Amino acid sequence: MGDDGGAPTTLFGTEERIGALLDHTIVDKYAKLEQKGKICAEYVWIGGTGSDLRSKTKTLDKLPKSPEDLPVWNFDGSSTGQAPGKDSEVCLIPRRIFSDPFRGGDNILVMSDCYEPPRQKEDGSISEYKAIPSNTRAPCAEAMKKAEKEEPWFGVEQEYTLLNSVTKWPLGWPSRGFPGPQGPYYCSAGTGASMGREIVEAHIKCCYFAGIKLSGVNAEVMPAQWEFQVGPCIGIALGDEMWMSRYILMRLAEQFNIDVTFDPKPIPGDWNGAGGHMNYSTNSTRKEGTGWDAIQEQIKKLEKKHAVHLAGYGTGNERRLTGKHETSSMHEFTWGVANRGASVRVGRSVPVEKCGYYEDRRPSSNLDPYVVTRLLVETTLL
């Protein structure tokens, strides 16, 4: 998904992608066949780069009610950069069940995270599952458990850019050229203004069907760039839902033979980068009367940890946080009411109602929500 700061990844070096050669209407005929009581569970996990999503299918004989009803599964970690070849088994623990919008029916998507298998210790006892180093969910879940009383709510704004999968140039841009300057594209309608709406519309319906708390979408300032929002979700649920919403987007883009990039600055120069603003509130900030004071106290704590947060807010973010194009400079922490050039923005209504939420504008589009939400909770609550 080309989100590591470099060029978008190419799966095939050829002019044609296999996906474009297949006729989806033929496949539909088989998709409708009776499943005879079998259920497909698509286990989804984050791969070794920390941004690639992997998945594989397990057949179940009955529909699970909760993730605990699902078997722990495993995969070959040496193929995803998550384990050495000679000891390659990585275990998948199911964490959250979603309906599968691609297979429909009772089929499910299962957000999972990765563990070393239990081993026999010297005293004969069996060790517990141990999170592998790339598992960012486990420490996030731990922090959320500690902060439970404050009921942290999160809402993320996921910006992303659609690319022509052959040329790697933004969808609908003139080949080897540029569209007219930014201005008309944000929240636009019309040919040449909002490119790739088919994918955006399909994504909305798929997220609803899956059970993801999608709260909205909009066309962005740079043409071929879009945003969707997930939330507000409580604690660990934000990370689970956001990762699954990305998985669904990738699967849809695959069917349209289009690339999605979460790169924070896909086109250098006078073109907006892509962010992943994180909106945040807690019981204290939502409390009428004293919430505004609580927000200001939390922001003071965030200021002291600016560098720690930036280090966990996405790779390549320095290309985006320049202080231009509605961003703050990464070199200093700033905040303000209604200020879209600040690190942290507080909504206009907050000082009026004396409570609410605030927006951390620093995370880039390739953020890991498990890392960002953990850092926010650790810095402001723990």
Q: Rule CB under 6 A: which residues touch ligand ADP?
A: 153-157, 215-216, 229, 231-232, 277, 279-281, 357, 359
- Residues forming contacts to Mn ion in the complex (CB under 5 A) are 157, 227, 277
Please report how close the Cβ of residue 306 comes to Mn ion at its closest, in angstroms: 19
Check: CB of residue 179 under 8 Å from CB of residue 173: yes
Note the Cα 320 to chain centre separation in Å: 18
Of ligand ADP, Mn ion, none, which one sits near residue 280, judging by CB under 5 to 8 A according to partner kind?
Answer: ligand ADP
Please report how close the Cβ of residue 2 comes to Mn ion at its closest, in angstroms: 19
Check: CB of residue 76 under 8 Å from CB of residue 88: yes
Please report how close the Cβ of residue 349 comes to Mn ion at its closest, in angstroms: 15
Decide the pairing of beta strands 258-261 and 153-164.
Answer: antiparallel
**Which residues touch 99 (CB under 8 Å, ≥6 apart)?**
107, 108, 109, 209, 210, 211
Of Mn ion, ligand ADP, none, which one sits near residue 262, judging by CB under 5 to 8 A according to partner kind?
Answer: none
Of ligand ADP, Mn ion, none, which one sits near residue 105, judging by CB under 5 to 8 A according to partner kind?
Answer: none
Please report how close the Cβ of residue 358 comes to ligand ADP at its closest, in angstroms: 8
C-alpha closest to that of 337 among 359, 304, 362: 359
Of ligand ADP, Mn ion, none, which one sits near residue 370, judging by CB under 5 to 8 A according to partner kind?
Answer: none
**Is the CB of 48 or the CB of 314 nearer to ligand ADP?**
314
C-alpha closest to that of 114 among 42, 40, 41, 47: 47
**Is the CB of 170 or the CB of 291 nearer to ligand ADP?**
291
Of Mn ion, ligand ADP, none, which one sits near residue 54, judging by CB under 5 to 8 A according to partner kind?
Answer: none
Of ligand ADP, Mn ion, none, which one sits near residue 339, judging by CB under 5 to 8 A according to partner kind?
Answer: none
323 vs 56: CA distance, rounded Å: 42
Cα dihedral 145→146→149→151 (10° resolution): -60
Please report how close the Cβ of residue 152 comes to ligand ADP at its closest, in angstroms: 8
Decide the pairing of beta strands 153-164 and 225-234.
Answer: antiparallel
**Is the CB of 294 or the CB of 342 nearer to Mn ion?**
342
C-alpha closest to that of 275 among 145, 142, 132, 161: 161
Please report how close the Cβ of residue 255 comes to Mn ion at its closest, in angstroms: 25
Please report how close the Cβ of residue 128 comes to Mn ion at its closest, in angstroms: 26
Of Mn ion, ligand ADP, none, which one sits near residue 155, judging by CB under 5 to 8 A according to partner kind?
Answer: ligand ADP
97 vs 109: CA distance, rounded Å: 6
Of Mn ion, ligand ADP, none, which one sits near residue 203, judging by CB under 5 to 8 A according to partner kind?
Answer: none
**Is the CB of 113 or the CB of 241 nearer to ligand ADP?**
241
299 vs 280: CA distance, rounded Å: 11
- The strand pairing partners of 117, in sequence order, are none
**Is the CB of 164 or the CB of 339 nearer to ligand ADP?**
339
**Is the CB of 157 or the CB of 241 nearer to Mn ion?**
157
255 vs 102: CA distance, rounded Å: 11
**Is the CB of 39 or the CB of 143 nearer to ligand ADP?**
143
Please report how close the Cβ of residue 271 comes to Mn ion at its closest, in angstroms: 14
Of Mn ion, ligand ADP, none, which one sits near residue 336, judging by CB under 5 to 8 A according to partner kind?
Answer: none
Which residue number has the CB closest to ligand ADP? 155
- The tokens for 210 are 């899956």
**Is the CB of 70 or the CB of 381 nearer to ligand ADP?**
381
**Is the CB of 186 or the CB of 256 nearer to ligand ADP?**
186
Check: CB of residue 342 under 8 Å from CB of residue 336: yes
Residue-wise burial string across 2-39, b where 16 or more C-beta atoms lie within 10 A, e elsewhere: bbbbeebeeeeeeeebebeeeeeeeeeeeeeeeeeeeb
